Chains A and B, each alone.
Chain A
Amino acid sequence: MERVSIKNVEKTFVNDDKEKKSFTVFDDISLDVQPGEFVSLLGPSGCGKSTLLNIVAGLDKATEGEVKVGDNIVSEPGSDRGVVFQEAALMPWLSVVENVKFALRKKMDKDAAQAEAEKYLKLVHLSKFMDSYPHELSGGMKQRVAIARALAMNPKILLMDEPFGALDEQTRSMLHKEVQYIWEETKKTILFVTHNIREAILLSDRIVLMGTRPGGIRKIYPVDLPRPRTPASEEFIKLEQDIMSILGGEIEKVMREEMGDDFNSQKASLLYGTNRNMGDHI
């Protein structure tokens, strides 16, 4: 468990091509994540929520500002921060248990590494598939291996970048339960990127709503609902609508950018029928 503090972070992609301007994704973002807290970053595509997560992970460099995990300033990736990506990113030539051991590197001797890997595979209920290869697993199972792999390093914080975005609805809701269980079991600090409001409310202690152009934090919602949460409860729906009212405007901004200034989501929904939704799972 460790505190994450993000201080005045700015990210600008500098373009070498002089005709194109450099592009600032966000600027002056500050956020503190308490030890053991589950925080979601929610926002439309292009708001830089994944970029922010990558900066915390050390995979991207911030143009300005700094990120601290505990007392250490983040400058490169490290095993104190476990990352789960949207794709499982398992090494196809290694079996499930070897993939988990891959994260342990040479930190411990063989028997200890095996025991550690088995422990975390048991936590994600994959003991039966230890010797399978990634291509033999379903998407949800692969993602569970990826979670076990990230946890096996015993990181201080767990960073999850739309980990369930590519999964079907049933698998996703099962994995939501699994993540809650893991969080309660391990007490890790979790930073979770998603574009799914319901997912964010279901899992997090706090939801950080991000917007675009200019990129940045729009609002922070504490979620005080008792766990386990049910999407049908009145408070849940109220919060969902609250967030949607702001997020909807942000999404419209993104769509305008992509489709031209005359785009209007209400007009579009009249044209194409109400059963079409514009964004993916938003």
Chain B
Amino acid sequence: MFPSPIGAVEQLYRGFFETGILRVALFESIQRITVGFILAVIIGGVLGILLATSKLADETLGSLVIALQPVPSIVWLPIALMMFQGGGGAILFVVVLGGTWAMTLNMRMGIKNVQPILIRAARTMGYKKTELVWKVMLPASIPSALTGARLAWAFGWRALMAAELIGRGGLGRTLMDARDFYNMDLVVAIMFIISAIGLTVEYFVFSKVEKRVLSRWGLNANQS
């Protein structure tokens, strides 16, 4: 009943190489987080740019985003299940919502905090409105956008696991199934996978990219 480390390792091996249930579940979860993450970054990015550049949008939609941001996205699942008639769409919806607000707010902040002198300099070279957004504001706010993306991924991953516990398919569902069979070794094995994926992406992928971007943008204090 109580899980043992050796049992968990054994379950990992069997799940990947004998029965294949973990392989299938992992593949499904990764597919969902990838699609959800990309959508969250795109929607959040566009929304963030809109909020930062349009005062009207900021004063109307902006407060809505701030109000929605502290709502854990899993809370949306009941509505999502109704909207999408259960199934994959609902889970994807929750994942996207989990990441979007963090991306939106960071993107907005990034654009708002672009040094005015860069914009003035670009204006003297004849850059105007939309060109200023694309050529100056957007590249200048990439460090903030990256922070937003990292948060979007982290929130999205957590939201996905929560949604899968209730919904269908993926690592979360498999975890609940394992509990139903009192297979605590498998539960721990799945938790291990969830942690490993989170660590890999957050610390290896995002950290590395962030470090390179920060030093290029001259924001890294250690590099002169």
A residues apposed to B, CB below 8 Å:
57-59, 77-79, 81-83, 85, 87, 89, 91-93, 102-103, 105, 133-135, 146, 149-150, 153
Structural contact, A89 and B118, CB atoms closer than 8 A: yes
Q: Determine how close the nearest CB of chain B comes to the CB of A227; give it in whole angstroms.
A: 28
9 intermolecular pairs with C-beta atoms under 8 Å apart: A79-B124, A89-B115, A91-B118, A91-B139, A92-B218, A93-B142, A103-B125, A105-B127, A135-B217
Please indicate the chain A residues that have their CB under 8 angstroms from the CB of B120 in the complex: 59, 85, 89
Assess whether B117 is interfacial by the CB under 8 Å rule: yes
**Nearest CB on A from B213, distance (A):** 9
Interchain CA distance A59-B127 in the complex, whole Å: 12
A-B contacts at CB below 8 angstroms, number: 60
Task: Given A93-B142, A135-B217, output 8 extra A-B contacts at Cβ < 8 Å.
Answer: A58-B123, A77-B123, A77-B125, A81-B124, A92-B216, A102-B122, A105-B126, A133-B216
* Any A CB within 8 A of the CB of B75: no
Is B223 in contact with A135, judged by CB distance below 8 angstroms? yes
A269–B110 Cα distance when bound, in Å, is 46
Asked if A83 and B140 make an inter-chain contact with CB atoms under 8 angstroms apart, the answer reads no
Task: Contact check, A82 vs B117: say whether CB atoms are below 8 A apart.
Answer: no
The answer to whether A102 touches B125, judged by C-beta atoms less than 8 angstroms apart, is yes
Which of B117, B126, B217 has the largest number of chain A CB atoms within 10 A? B126
B138-165: which have CB < 8 Å to A?
139-140, 142
> Whole-angstrom distance between the alpha carbons of A105 and B126 in the complex?
9
Q: How far is the CB of B111 from chain A (nearest CB, A)?
A: 15
With known contacts A91-B139, A93-B139, A85–B126 Cβ distance under 8 A: no
Using A82-B124, A93-B139 as known contacts, say yes or no to A135 and B218 having CB atoms under 8 A apart: yes
Q: In the complex, A81 Cα to B120 Cα: how many Å?
A: 13
Size bin of chain B's contact surface: 20 to 34
Q: Give, as a whole number of angstroms, the nearest-CB distance from B173 to chain A.
A: 43
B215 within 8 A of A: yes
Main secondary structure of the interface of B (DSSP, over half): helix
Chain B residue contacts of A91, Cβ below 8 A: 118, 136, 139-140
User: B135: nearest residue on chain A (CB-CB)?
Assistant: A102
- Residues A79 and B140 in contact, CB atoms below 8 Å apart: no
Whether a CB of chain A sits under 8 angstroms from the CB of B197 is no
Evaluate contact between A92 and B121: CB separation under 8 angstroms.
no
CB distance from B142 to the nearest CB of A (A): 7
Is the CB–CB distance between B126 and A78 below 8 Å? yes
Minimum-distance CB pairs A-B, first 7? A135-B218, A89-B121, A83-B124, A89-B117, A77-B123, A103-B125, A79-B126
A85–B139 CB distance below 8 A: no
B134 → chain A, closest Cβ, in Å? 12
| Complex contact B117–A85 (CB within 8 A) | yes
Residues of A contacting B139 with CB < 8 Å?
91, 93
Q: How far is the CA of A43 from the CA of B224 in the complex (A)?
A: 35
A136 to chain B, nearest CB (A): 8
Q: Which of A57, A81, A93, A150 touches B216 (beta carbons < 8 Å)?
A: A93
Residues of chain B within 8 A (CB-CB) of A135 are 215-218, 223-224
**Closest chain B CB from A164 CB (angstroms):** 16
Chain A residue at smallest Cβ distance from B126: A79
Question: How distant is the Cα of A182 from the Cα of B223 in the complex, in angstroms?
Answer: 33
